[in-house]
Amino acid sequence: MNINVDIASTYLFSNKKLTMVAVMGVLLGMSIYIFMNSLLVGFDRTSNVSIFKSTPHIRIYKDDEISKPLLENKASKSIIINPKVVPSSNTIINYKDVMSLARKHEEVTLVTPQVTATVFFNTGKIQIPGMIVGVVPDEADIMFNISSTIIEGSFKDLKKDINSIAIGSGVAEKLSLYIGDNISVSSAKGVIRNLKVVAIFKTNNSAVDKSKTYIHLSTAQQLQKENNVYVTDLNVAVKKPEKADEYTADLSQFTGYKAEGWKQANEALMAAFRMRKIVITFVSYTILIVAGFGIYNILNMTVSQKINDIAILKAMGFKGKDVIRIFLTQAMSIGVMGVVGGMLAAATLITILRKVYIGGDIGYFPIDYELSKFIQGVVVGLVITFFAGYLPAKKAAGVDPVSIFRK
Amino acid sequence: MATIVETKNINKYFYDPVEFHVLKNVSFAVSRGEFLSMIGKSGSGKSTLLYILSTMDTDYTGELYIDNELVTGFDLDKLAMIRNEKIGFVFQFHYLLPEFTCLKNVMLPALKFKKLSTKEIEQKAYQKLELLGLADQALKTANKLSGGQQQRVAIARALINDPAIIMCDEPTGNLDSKNTKIVFDTFKELTVNMNQTIIAVTHDEEFAKNTDRTIEMMDGMIIKHTS
Ligand SMILES: Nc1ncnc2c1ncn2[C@@H]1O[C@H](COP(=O)(O)OP(=O)(O)O)[C@@H](O)[C@H]1O
Ligand SMILES: [Mg+2]
């Protein structure tokens, strides 16, 4: 064994308590770091899953237009200015062409039309406001994974009958509706249709469950007193939803309509997520750095205790870098033990918690073994250990033996 | 006789708390195999001079030659290598590493030197301990020995690399007369039989009188050589 390593391990073993305290510090810091960051990944994953149940990756629609000055004057101010929203239909003209234009984008996997309208649902005397979403059932199912939220009936049945409807569990409850019951839907345009309930879904977002329903695209068009080219939105799915925002500019240009990514559409939620990410990142790094301070302190203490040893070692020919190696070896040994222990502790914690059922929107505790976070934790942990050890080691290397021997 | 250590016009100042000219134009030479003692009143600069000779103190003017090589101005790593190979140290305090066995303590400079295998170093360390009458203590940790024994282990450690020079600052300062005699006889033997050089700072008149040559210092100057 190398003599520097030999000395380092003797110091570690002759002061087991101190060593264990330092190792425990790193172990706890490491496990919490990995755990919190894995949890963050889990949170984002479940949040995204629930967002994608009602929001497409990208939505293409006709944005409101603001009226332009009547007489454009480049040199000075325009002559007549009265900007306001131009009253025009919010339909996408020639939507089939627009769809095929959108499909040309290489990241796009699916484009499906949709008509959204606010309506009233009636059964007997009760009338409640709500929303109908007219869709192509198969495509909408792929887009929003509606089948996974169905608690009664089957979403597949929607496509068999043009006069059928899938309703949210809240709507069903309020109107006491069961599979096979009829519901009358009246639109703002005065059209009334009787539809048969074929499926009830539950998204765990009660606002959605209390108002949302899915019907056939053509039925929705009829309720809006429009023909079969009337479409308000095109929903787009892409290969990498994380990057949806990067494709919106292209899609706007391809199609000539406004394209909005899911992050933009859920700006408030995204802000909350960012906040969550900042807090968790900050806390997890802080804990690791505190563990680093533990190593730093304990090594500083060792250096002070062993100052005579350092002096005599330097007298007998150990170089500054040998002394650095002795103390850095101690720090890194503590670090490696702590990091390995921390990984095991984090893995244990995750193994236990991922089986815990939380309920509500979340279901099982949203955490999994995130390899990338384990790797990240090991790297960050070892880097912090290195610096926490290097500073005292550097101090030890700088000890002037003469000043010690004079005492 | 061949010179092993030589100084030319060594001057040193301390600046804290006030400027103080601690060594003044110190020039002298030590021959190989010589047993040299340095005496003088407390504060006359003996230790300061010894630390310069040891190469550990580099803050001086003048020239220091070790084994006919000018070492003044060498970088710290190079000086460390010179100490490792050519100089052994004995201080008033033993400076043993308390958690290590006596054997390991003695082996340390040789493990650093890496000229021999660990097995050979171990054998050699046993020899040195035997020389100091401590073979039976080899496997005890250093902090379990008596003061006299610890100092003898420290001497064994100073000898492990068969250094050309052994520098001592009050090596017998803490020892009773019996241990003092063992140390003196060992040093004497080394100079006679092994042609090793001893430079020992001491305030023990008796000890100094029996060495080959005594240098007396006063106020940072060498005032007398007695052979
Ligand atoms: N680090 C220092 N700073 C200032 N003065 C010092 C320092 N070390 C020693 N001295 C002074 O230098 C002089 C010589 O000290 P030293 O060499 O230890 O003397 P000796 O070993 O002969 O007793 C003394 O007066 C001492 O007070
Ligand atoms: Mg002195």
What residue segments make up the domains of chain B, in order of their start? Answer: 3-226
List pLDDT tens digits, range A289-310.
998 898 899 999 999 999 999 9
Out of B83, B93, B169, the one facing A317 most closely (by C-beta) is B83
Residue numbers in A near B91 (CB within 8 A): 405
Residues whose CB falls within 8 Å of the CB of residue A209, separated by 6 or more in sequence, listed in order = A168, A169, A170, A171, A201, A202, A203
Local structure of A368: helix, strand or coil: coil
Q: Does domain B3-226 have CATH number 3.40.920.10?
A: no
pLDDT confidence band for A70 (50 / 70 / 90) = low
Residue B188 alpha carbon to ligand 1 centre in Å:
29
Look-up: residue for tokens 């004079």? A406
Closest atom of ligand 1 to B217 CA is 22
Residue B200 alpha carbon to ligand 2 centre in Å:
11
List pLDDT tens digits, range A162-203.
899 999 999 999 998 899 999 999 998 889 999 999 999 988
Ligand 1 close to Cβ of residue B221 (< 6 A)? no
List pLDDT tens digits, range A261-287.
998 888 888 899 999 999 999 999 999
Ligand 1 close to Cβ of residue B42 (< 6 A)? yes
> In sequence order, what DSSP letters do the residues of B28-70 get, joined into one string?
EEEETT-EEEEEE-TTSSHHHHHHHHTTS----EEEEEETTEE
Q: Is the per-residue pLDDT at B93 higher than 90?
A: yes
Residue A217: predicted pLDDT:
92
Ligand 1 close to Cβ of residue B48 (< 6 A)? yes
Out of A14, A311, A400, the one facing B95 most closely (by C-beta) is A311
Residue A26: predicted pLDDT:
93
Task: Kindly state the percentage of chain A with pLDDT values over 90.
Answer: 55
| Residue ranges in B160-198 assigned as alpha helix (H) | 177-193
Listed by number, the residues of chain A in 298-327 with a beta carbon closer than 8 Å to a beta carbon of chain B are 308-309, 311-322
Ligand 1 close to Cβ of residue B22 (< 6 A)? yes
Nearest to B211 by CA among B148, B156, B166, B161: B166
| Nearest CA-CA distance, residue B39 and chain A, Å | 17
Give the pLDDT mean for A204-208: 81
Ligand 1 close to Cβ of residue B18 (< 6 A)? no
Residue numbers in A near B89 (CB within 8 A): 312, 315-316
- The alpha carbon torsion through A357, A358, A360, A364 (nearest 10 deg) reads -50
Q: Which two tokens stand for residue A146?
A: 């509606």
Name the more confident of A76 and B186.
B186
Give the pLDDT mean for A326-350: 95
Cα–Cα distance, B180 to B176 (Å, whole number): 6
Q: How far apart are the first and last CA of chain A?
A: 33
Asked whether B128 and B160 are in contact (CB, 8 A), the reply is: yes
Nearest to A220 by CA among A96, A90, A119, A110: A119
pTM: 0.81
Q: Is the per-residue pLDDT at A136 higher than 70?
A: yes
Report the mean per-residue pLDDT for chain A.
89
